[in-house]
Chain A
Amino acid sequence: MKRSFMMALAAGLLMSTAASAQTLKIGLNDDPDVLDPHRARTFTGRIVFASLCDKLVDITPDLKFTPELATEWAWSGDGKTLTFKLRPGVTFHDGEKMDAAAVKANLDRARTLPDSLRKSELNSVESVEVVDDLTVAVKLARPDGTLLSQLSDRAGMMLSPKAFAAADFAQKPVCSGPFKFVERVQNDRIVLERFKEHWNAKAYNFDRVVFTPIPDTTVRLANLKAGNLDLLERLAPSDVPSVKSDSKLIFAPISGIGYQGLTINTNNGDRAKTPLGQDKRIRQALQLSIDMDVVNEVVGQGIFPPATQPFPLASPYHDPKYDKRKRDVAKAKALLKEAGVEKVKFELTFGNNTTTQQIAEMIQAMAAEAGFEISLRPTEFAAMQKEATAGNFDVNVIGWSGRVDPDGNIHAFVTCKGALNDGRYCNPEIDRILNEARSITDEGKRKALYDTAQAVLLDELPIIYTYYQPWPFALSKKLDGFKPYPDGLIRLKGVKFAS
């Protein structure tokens, strides 16, 4: 009698631990910065926000917009008003109501907070009007085809207006996402717990989510293998075979919406005044001398699809015409000869990590066969940024995490005053086309404009695209229902531990 009681007790204990052990542990590539969507800049921060903060709209894996806090939306005829219908009965983590007034307060904050990093993203917004409790109209100064995609990210995240009035909001962020903030220990962990009053709480299966930043890819994978993590982002490509062959792990890669490339200094200060910066034929020769298929094979283990343009393979704006680029050393040499040079020297700067360095060394070796003498310069990211802006570089290796709207992958990089145009490439015709393309919403018309721009850009080559940024995830077999998204964020809807 006594014994069976003990056994029942033990069984009960076991079951209760099993039930309470619904903690998902995610390994991140680095520690996020401020936990305030309007002031944050890091990619890993976006991963945390994906569980913490709901936004007006979300995207689907095939890059379509889907309702989140807004149930429907409509453009006015002149393309200058975007009206959202909001989901009724949504509350923030602190119990405040998520209504039209809250949306207005948020968009106004993102536009006007002095240190908001969302200002450029919401640049076209002139005012936000509360139509009724659940209807918001966003008035624009000019038509803006990119706005919806901005609102599907940090700029469209809704924070509790009562909470963001506090100076230390970033230390205890209050949003309306499926998980609410519990604690953060810098460099160690960010803990979220289930928000029971979430409008879609049933779709989420974890009581707790713990994000642990582990910058070293080897150690991150070691933790997954040892069972201390359930899921990790950005697996090192060199570890792909080891994950694939592990019976307890799942490899879940997805080609992203971002790209890697080489920015060439064509017009930024004295260092642009080189043959490479001034003569497009030399840039074309450089592109022809590099075999990205080999890079994909040697460094990428097959997950670095070669890129020829800023738009990802999955994007409707991708132009397949350029996909068949092949290495051609003879043609590269001919181009150099035509340009009247035999040897071209330049410095290739890159942020130091093993993968990038490997690719830089490969580019150096391959381009040497065509007559390029490349010196390599690995540098810290923080130092690189300033030098790039100041024009103190020949060629920079750059990576862009990518945006859903095509504009986000091209406009800031090649327009004359583009914020991220480090090479200062400037062509008024390109500016005109790209400005027009961002001001309309019709996909067909936009595609035609982007095709025109690409015909020029891929001939002049201010940026040589190298490969599409993949988002390789690795996860435990225990995990069910995980679906990678091309934006690299982790969405936990429907993800659960297999019983």
Chain B
Amino acid sequence: MTLAVTDEIALPKKRNRVLAKFMKNRAAVFGAGIVLFFVLVAIVAPLVAPFDPIKPSFSTIRKAPSLLYWFGTDELGRDVFSRMLLGTRASLSAGVISVGIAIILGVPFGLVAGYFGGWLDASISRATEALLSIPFLILAIALAAFLGPSLTNAMIAIGLSAMPIFIRLTRGQVLSVKAEDYVEGARAIGLPDFWIMLRYVLPNALPPILVQATLTIASAIIAEASLSFLGLGQQPPNPSWGSMLNTAKNFMSQAPWMSIFPGSAIFLVVLGFNLFGDGLRDALDPREN
């Protein structure tokens, strides 16, 4: 996460070996399995939801889990299980898309700053530090409030707030890769900078970025929950796990199932991303043979 401590990683030679190494790591495979499972759930959600996840049903308010309602019902009588199925989409996409935005915007800045150095590096680094030093949540709240309340805007706000992490990480990686013989060599034979960055520098900087991405997806999912709470994320009556959790908070003692299931879902999916990322990191690390 910081330039100081990230491992230096050499170019992975054989993709197959990486895959084989990854598959040997049971925890990582388990993590990947969890992630895959939730992605599938997000895709088939509307097909398998047993009840209408949106329409209140005043005769079934806060019913405990049963054979009919697997995860119980919520404060407006809606099936928690069906709502969670639908919420998987919002929560997963909030995590993945916002991190995607952060990477797409952050990595080029980091590449340029690290590769060219000089005033370009200085100004990008100062701006990054400035952004990083403002608490993440405050930045996200301000941006989301400015953009207007919706799930899409929340994703943009989270993505922008997470961007500096990736600038900084990429820059650090580039700095350590730049000194490697093959980059020096490519420069010596006069390959264009753009090509060197894309072909030699980026691939070697990518593994830690992927690892960081898993971590950030985790915080992005939670950030979406926080923004939903402020009316800046998912709009009711549509659910996201975060917004479900925030409603459920008021019913902790009367209807614990309302919070236990969405909370566990967030926990599981975030754990999945983390295990997956860690496994990826180990598999990509050439020193671990």
Contact = CB atoms under 8 A, between A and B. Distances in A.
Interface of A: 216-218, 236, 238-239, 241-242, 294, 297-299, 352, 354, 357-358, 360-362, 364-365, 375-380, 383
Contacts of B145: 380, 383
B254 A298 contact: no
B10 interface: no
Contacts of B249: 216, 218, 354
Contact of B254 (A238, A297, A365, A380): A238
Nearest to A357: B236
A378 B253 contact: no
Contact of B253 (A242, A352, A360, A376): A242
Contacts of B235: 375-378
B76 A378 contact: no
Given A377-B235, A379-B149, A358 B229 contact: no
Interface stretch (B53-61, B97-105, B120-128): B53-61
Contacts of B36: none
Interface residues of B, number: 24
* Central interface residue in B58, B145, B235, by most chain A CB within 10 Å: B58
A242 B58 contact: no
B274 interface: no
Closest 6 pairs between A and B when the two form their complex, measured CB to CB: A378-B231, A352-B231, A365-B56, A354-B250, A376-B236, A361-B237
B88 interface: no
23 contacts: A217-B250, A218-B250, A238-B250, A238-B251, A239-B254, A241-B254, A242-B253, A294-B58, A297-B58, A298-B58, A352-B229, A354-B247, A357-B247, A361-B236, A361-B237, A362-B56, A377-B149, A377-B231, A378-B231, A378-B235, A379-B149, A380-B231, A380-B232
A239 B75 CA distance: 13
Chain B contact surface mostly:
loop
B56 A378 contact: no
B101 to A, nearest CB: 23
Contacts of A299: 75
Contacts of A360: 236
Contacts of B236: 357, 360-361, 376, 378
Chain A contact surface mostly:
helix
Interface of B: 55-56, 58, 61, 75-77, 145, 149, 229-232, 235-237, 246-247, 249-254
B253 to A, nearest CB: 6
A218 B246 CA distance: 12
Contacts of A238: 75, 250-251, 254
A5 B236 CA distance: 68
B230 to A, nearest CB: 6
Contacts of A380: 145, 230-232
B247 A376 contact: no
Contacts of B76: 298, 358, 361-362, 365
A352 B145 CA distance: 13
A299 B58 CA distance: 10
Contacts of B58: 294, 297-298, 362
Contacts of A357: 236, 247
B231 A379 contact: yes
* Central interface residue in A297, A354, A364, A378, by most chain B CB within 10 Å: A378
Contacts of A217: 250
A238 B61 CA distance: 12
A357 B231 CA distance: 10
Contacts of B230: 352, 380
Contacts of A375: 235
A9 to B, nearest CB: 43
A357 B250 CA distance: 12
Given A298-B61, A358-B75, A364 B231 contact: no
A201 B252 CA distance: 42
* Central interface residue in B230, B232, B237, B247, by most chain A CB within 10 Å: B237
A321 to B, nearest CB: 28
B207 to A, nearest CB: 40
